[in-house]
């Protein structure tokens, strides 16, 4: 009977010991389920965006082809107009050469008629002594006068026609050049739009792949949590404390302290020789509670050169969060901490104002915490 009582006591003690761990594991499982649902919704949203972008790309590609055809048409028309203008310039040059060739003879006749006085052609007729040749002389004088008038009028008419045609061709060429420039700009804009959509589609594909990978990690963690819950329900010891990976919670991590970002990621630090900061500085009243952004284990808790009192939380793999310039510490090394658990309080930052210096390292590399913390 005493042995049975002892066994019951041990069983009750084991059950009581398992209850907090079971509650914690169930809470993690619920959080994993909620986050997994959010990731699936994100995947659906990205898929819808991709479908919309593919439709936009098809329309933009058709628009670009239309603009390219318009540009080819305008370019061909502009080339034809330029060639026509060149032919007109050739005609003008030929007409000027013709005028230059005929001008001496015309000038000589004008001079001779001028020497004969106002009745030049009449005197030319009267100077004919032979009456038999009078009619012939008359016809010749009339023909000469008409030919001179016709030639001059013809030159003037031809020059006016060519000048008019050249003005029209010049205006057409100018208009076509403007149309060509406009068509080139339109085609370039359509090409840029297609390239931008392709870049955005590639980014969406990358995010979809990342979301799928994170959802896979979370599903694996969820299975581990379920196995832990089964072990706890059967009274079997668990191999390791239940935990959730950090990656699937990008954009959903708690803020370590309430306050405004005073120094951004990659900014120059006032101290340390103005070196670039690997984290952010959050302004907060001295003594404000600093909380863990995610579940993990304390890898370091103590004073560290350049960081003052510092807590480093290991979140699995090569993922760490760093909380520096603390006034005091509320955890010790190797302690397990949960999301939202107090790690310490804020002290005075490197800028001389009260606040928290915070870093986040993913896969061993510093990242911008604002891309991982939940949006405000």
The residue among 94, 97, 82 whose CA lies nearest residue 166 is 82
Average pLDDT along the chain: 77
The pLDDT, as a whole number, for residue 54 is 78
Give Cβ neighbours of residue 346 (< 8 Å, ≥ 6 apart).
257, 284, 285, 286, 287, 288, 290, 325, 326, 327, 354, 355, 356
Q: Which carries the bigger pLDDT value, residue 77 or residue 347?
A: 347
Using one digit for the tens of pLDDT, what is the confidence trace for 132-159?
555 665 666 666 667 767 777 776 777 7
The pLDDT, as a whole number, for residue 310 is 94
The pLDDT, as a whole number, for residue 120 is 52
Indicate the angle between helix axes 2-116 and 134-234, nearest 10 degrees. Answer: 170
Cβ neighbours around 41 below 10 Å, total: 11
pLDDT band for position 295 (50/70/90)? very high
Average pLDDT, integer, range 337-346:
96
Cα angle, residue 17 at apex, residues 13 and 21 outer, rounded to 5°:
160
- What's this model's pTM, rounded to 2 decimal places? 0.58
Give Cβ neighbours of residue 106 (< 8 Å, ≥ 6 apart).
148, 151, 152
The residue among 261, 245, 266 whose CA lies nearest residue 318 is 245
Average pLDDT, integer, range 97-105:
71
- Alpha-carbon span 284 to 289, nearest angstrom: 9
- Alpha-carbon span 248 to 220, nearest angstrom: 11
Q: Among 215-219, 325-329, 350-354, which stretch is predicted with the lowest mean pLDDT?
A: 215-219
Residue 352 has pLDDT above 50, yes or no: yes
> Going from the N-terminus, what domains does the chain have, and what CATH number goes with each?
1-100+150-245 (1.10.287.620), 251-371 (2.70.70.10)
Average pLDDT, integer, range 34-48:
84
Which residue has 């002594």 as its token pair? 129
pLDDT band for position 12 (50/70/90)? very low
Residue 17 has pLDDT above 50, yes or no: no
Residue 117 has pLDDT above 90, yes or no: no
């Amino acid at each position: 009977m005493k042995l049975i009582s002892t066994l019951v006591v041990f069983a009750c003690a084991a059950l009581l010991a398992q209850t907090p761990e079971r509650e914690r594991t169930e809470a993690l499982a619920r959080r994993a389920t909620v986050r997994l649902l959010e990731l699936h919704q994100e995947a659906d949203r990205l898929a819808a965006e991709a479908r919309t972008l593919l439709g936009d790309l098809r329309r933009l590609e058709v628009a670009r082809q239309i603009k390219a055809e318009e540009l080819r048409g305008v370019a061909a028309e502009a080339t034809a107009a330029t060639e026509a203008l060149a032919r007109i310039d050739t005609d003008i040059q030929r007409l000027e050469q013709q005028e230059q060739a005929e001008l001496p003879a015309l000038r000589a006749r004008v001079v001779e008629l001028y020497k004969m006085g106002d009745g030049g052609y009449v005197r030319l007729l009267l100077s004919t002594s032979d009456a038999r040749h009078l009619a012939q002389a008359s016809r010749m004088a009339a023909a000469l006068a008409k030919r001179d008038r016709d030639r001059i009028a013809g030159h003037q008419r031809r020059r006016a026609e060519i000048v008019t045609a050249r003005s029209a061709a010049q205006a057409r060429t100018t208009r076509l050049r403007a149309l060509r420039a406009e068509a080139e700009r339109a085609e370039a804009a359509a090409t840029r739009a297609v390239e931008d959509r392709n870049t955005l589609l590639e980014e969406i594909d990358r995010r979809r792949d990342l979301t799928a990978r994170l959802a896979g990690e979370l599903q694996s963690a969820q299975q581990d949590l379920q196995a832990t819950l089964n072990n706890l329900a059967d009274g079997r010891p668990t191999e390791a404390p239940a935990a959730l990976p950090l990656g699937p919670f990008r954009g959903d991590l708690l803020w370590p302290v309430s306050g405004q970002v005073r120094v951004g990621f990659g900014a120059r630090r006032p101290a340390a020789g103005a070196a670039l900061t690997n984290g952010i500085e959050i302004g907060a009243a001295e003594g404000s509670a600093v909380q863990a952004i995610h579940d993990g284990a304390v890898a370091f808790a103590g004073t560290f050169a350049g960081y003052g009192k510092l807590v480093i939380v290991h979140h699995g793999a090569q993922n760490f969060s760093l909380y520096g310039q603390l006034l005091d510490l509320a955890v010790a090394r190797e302690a397990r901490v949960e999301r939202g658990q107090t790690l310490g309080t804020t002290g005075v930052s490197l800028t001389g104002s009260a606040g928290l210096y915070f870093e986040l390292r993913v896969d061993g590399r510093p990242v911008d915490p604002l891309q991982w913390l939940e949006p405000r």
